[in-house]
Amino acid sequence: MNIILLGPPGAGKGTQASRLVESRGMVQLSTGDMLRAAVKAQTPIGLKAKAVMEAGELVSDEIVSGIIGEALDGLGAGTGVIFDGYPRTEAQAHSLDAILADRGRTLDHVIELDVDEDALVERITGRFTCASCGEGYHDSFKQPKVEGECDKCHGHEFKRRPDDNEETVRTRMAEYRAKTAPILPIYEARGIVSRVDGMADMDDVTAAIAAILDSSKS
Ligand code: ADP
Ligand code: ADP
Ligand code: ZN
């Protein structure tokens, strides 16, 4: 099964993707995570992407579609994939069709996390992750169970993204509205879009997504 999680910054794509990885053994392909790794490693792609990401603008379609193709090539044919943060433009949506077709994969679901824009700024500015395992947390909505200690790996170091500030979030939201939301009709025409209330509690969002994925099994 191959699915896209679609939604503006802070909608909960990463949170839900990592739960699907745990519950279903799917693989999460997050272009944001891959780009951040490239920036950290100072690869040629990372050097190009750094300033663009810090400004909250979109990295070029060629770069992100290239890294998605490479990432898919590293996976077994039967591995289910969650696309998190990709595609984000019409050109990327068309590239993904070609990339999947080349590898004999089909897109089963596009799940749109529907959220209230005002809530996103609070979600983004309160977001932090474990520096060792990447588990996601939030100042108000999901603190570690033991203060200062990661629930998952018991690490003690956490980090915040340089682009998770109010000004950059506004740019990222505008980019989403202008370039990403318009790709939905492509998938609507194929009858594969489902909407989930992303303002619900994390566990309820997880349950709603599970119901969508399970409904297509029968
Ligand atoms: P995205 O990957 O779409 O940018 P994240 O999954 O990183 O979003 O979520 C953004 C922040 O909001 C994180 O700090 C996360 O813990 C928190 N969060 C995610 N889903 C919910 C939810 N349903 N309710 C409240 N907070 C949430
Ligand atoms: P969020 O979780 O807040 O939605 P991401 O981690 O997906 O954000 O992306 C962070 C940044 O990385 C984006 O603002 C953009 O600069 C870049 N990026 C990630 N994915 C893409 C993509 N598919 N196309 C272009 N730029 C991307
Ligand atoms: Zn951890």
- State the amino acid at position 153 in one-letter form: C
- Residues 41-78: pLDDT tens digits? 999 999 999 999 999 999 999 999 999 999 999 999 89
Pull the structure tokens for residue 33. 């995570």
CA of 135 to the centre of ligand 3 (A): 5
d(CA 121, CA 186): 28
Confidence bin at 218 (pLDDT 50/70/90) = very low
- Residues 161-210: pLDDT tens digits? 999 999 999 999 999 999 999 999 999 999 999 999 999 999 999 999 99
Query: At 28, is the secondary structure helix, strand, or coil?
Result: strand
Please work out whether the CB of residue 205 comes within 6 Å of at least one atom of ligand 1.
yes
Q: In what order do the strands lie in the sheet with 193-197?
A: 27-30, 81-84, 2-6, 109-114, 193-197
d(CA 167, CA 149): 29
Neighbouring CB atoms inside 10 A of 180's CB total 22
pTM of the model: 0.96
Which residue out of 6, 29, 52, 53 has the highest number of ligand 2 atoms within 8 Å of its CB and is therefore the one to mutate?
A: 53
Contact 124, 95 (CB under 8 A): no
